[in-house]
Chain A
């Protein structure tokens, strides 16, 4: 199909691909917590933490450019959200003038910190999700006691979101081929109708899927074959990962 979001890198046999999905999810969570709690005084730690996603990217034997291209697709959003921060000084702060523009130094620091952290978090998320089979990710979440209803929702979304997008595209096409020029009010009315139609169609599809599930014996719980095995390499990887993560803490005087 035309939605090319699922890339072929999910299937591979590098070390990173073979890590247990639970390991990847846990590493991601620990990494995110460590990164997010770094203060501005210790900003150099962030540079050090960059080692970890880069190491994973290297081990995965996927071109670093591939990761960077994904990163640059996601990052601009964060940049746009944070761009205004330097222009708002704290209540007791006197902003400095740069070329006639008042800029808050603390705001600038905050801007820098948030962006650096976001890049790290995005980077590790991209590396670990690109190298994990989607089904494996779901199974990992399931084993980590994420409620089955949540994994089921994610799984359905993954399956049907593109069907929904296709439907929207078809409706838009049908609409554009019938109307040439309309006033804004009329257009809004048509769009509201379309949203309503979409809602009904999705609802009906949900009902049909439910019938199909029921007719194959569904009784309220989704059973999956969960055959994840924690390997020795996973334990070793976890230990190495945690030791690297803790290195910067050594620099704190006791």
Chain B
């Protein structure tokens, strides 16, 4: 089944900014796709369209259900969105309330909610954080907690906006591992092309609200021409032996 199917999907902000222009793509269930592109190309906008918090023009189907008013609660349950800034996603006094927020809105009974919170925290490696307040956590921990708020809703598709931006290396690696072992359909946006290469088999390049390329990540992310046309750079791993050598010698200097 197709997890997402978009046809001629457009979105303009109320002030008239055309953020997405007639884009069409589909994502089969279980696939992991990275959306890349320069700033302002419409990546974040596309993420918010996926579960209907913003509604565009054109066709959008989630798991064969077309997005409309009556399907909205179901679609919000299916598509979990992890926003870029964890401070926007964690708005309750404690982590427990933050993670319980979604399941409680789904009308689940108390015991089930508690179980969901515990499982979600475990899945991101934050066991025992229930009573902590998010403003006492590090940015990395907050990012993991914001993943947990979505995991707890038991979604079938997870959409993440720049999951590794601003993270230190250890938390970046944690997120990469979490994404790799996750069985869900995943759609993420990123500037971290190495992460995209590690976690997603497919890459879509967005520029000025249009899809300019869509293909297997191994191929697209080694295509220097197309990357540079879109203000992107080859992932470190894909760079030529010459530049890798340069990088290695730089590392040596740093290690001394």
Which B residues are in CB contact (< 8 Å) with A224?
97, 100, 104
Which A residues are in CB contact (< 8 Å) with B90?
159
Instruction: Say whether, besides A159-B93, A214-B53, A1 and B135 are in contact (CB < 8 Å).
Output: yes
Which B residues are in CB contact (< 8 Å) with A156?
91
* Residues of chain A having any CB pair with chain B under 8 Å: 1, 3, 6, 11, 134-135, 138, 155-156, 158-160, 162-163, 205, 208-209, 211-219, 223-225, 227
On whether the beta carbons of A216 and B135 are closer than 8 Å, the reply is no
On whether the beta carbons of B83 and A212 are closer than 8 Å, the reply is yes
On whether the beta carbons of B91 and A158 are closer than 8 Å, the reply is no
In the complex, besides A212-B81, A215-B51, 12 extra interface pairs with C-beta distance below 8 angstroms are A1-B136, A135-B96, A159-B93, A160-B91, A212-B91, A214-B76, A215-B48, A215-B53, A216-B105, A216-B150, A224-B104, A225-B110
Which chain A residue has the least Cβ–Cβ distance from B99?
A216
Report the bound CA distance from A215 to B89 in whole Å. 10
On whether the beta carbons of B93 and A208 are closer than 8 Å, the reply is no
Instruction: Write the B128-155 contact mask toward A (1 if CB under 8 angstroms, else 0).
Output: 0001011110000000000001100100
Instruction: Say whether, besides A214-B53, A225-B113, A209 and B94 are in contact (CB < 8 Å).
Output: no
Query: Is residue B101 contacting chain A, with contact meaning CB distance below 8 A?
Result: yes
Report the bound CA distance from A215 to B135 in whole Å. 22
On whether the beta carbons of A211 and B53 are closer than 8 Å, the reply is yes
Which chain B residue has the least Cβ–Cβ distance from A163?
B87
Report the bound CA distance from A227 to B109 in whole Å. 12
On whether the beta carbons of B94 and A135 are closer than 8 Å, the reply is yes
Please provide the 4 A-B residue pairs with the shortest distance between their CB atoms, ordered closest to farther: A217-B105, A216-B102, A223-B104, A208-B88
Query: Is residue B73 contacting chain A, with contact meaning CB distance below 8 A?
Result: yes
Report the bound CA distance from A136 to B201 in whole Å. 46
Which A residues are in CB contact (< 8 Å) with B76?
214-217
Report the bound CA distance from A144 to B85 in whole Å. 35
On whether the beta carbons of A135 and B93 are closer than 8 Å, the reply is yes
Instruction: Say whether, besides A208-B85, A217-B153, A225 and B91 are in contact (CB < 8 Å).
Output: no
Which A residues are in CB contact (< 8 Å) with B87?
163, 205
Which B residues are in CB contact (< 8 Å) with A162?
135
Task: List 29 interface pairs A-B (beta carbons < 8 Å), by A numbering.
Answer: A6-B133, A134-B93, A135-B93, A158-B93, A159-B91, A159-B92, A159-B93, A159-B134, A160-B91, A162-B135, A163-B87, A163-B135, A205-B87, A209-B91, A211-B54, A213-B91, A215-B48, A215-B51, A215-B76, A215-B80, A215-B81, A216-B150, A217-B73, A217-B77, A217-B105, A218-B105, A219-B73, A219-B105, A225-B114
On whether the beta carbons of A212 and B88 are closer than 8 Å, the reply is yes
- Scoring B80, B104, B150 by chain A CB atoms within 10 A of each residue's CB, the highest score goes to B104
Which chain B residue has the least Cβ–Cβ distance from A225?
B110
Which chain B residue has the least Cβ–Cβ distance from A11?
B131
Which A residues are in CB contact (< 8 Å) with B101?
213, 216, 218
Which A residues are in CB contact (< 8 Å) with B88?
205, 208-209, 211-212
A135 CB to nearest B CB, Å: 5
Report the bound CA distance from A6 to B88 in whole Å. 21
Which A residues are in CB contact (< 8 Å) with B113?
225
Instruction: Write the B94-128 contact mask toward A (1 if CB under 8 angstroms, else 0).
Output: 10110011101110001001100000000000000
A207 CB to nearest B CB, Å: 9
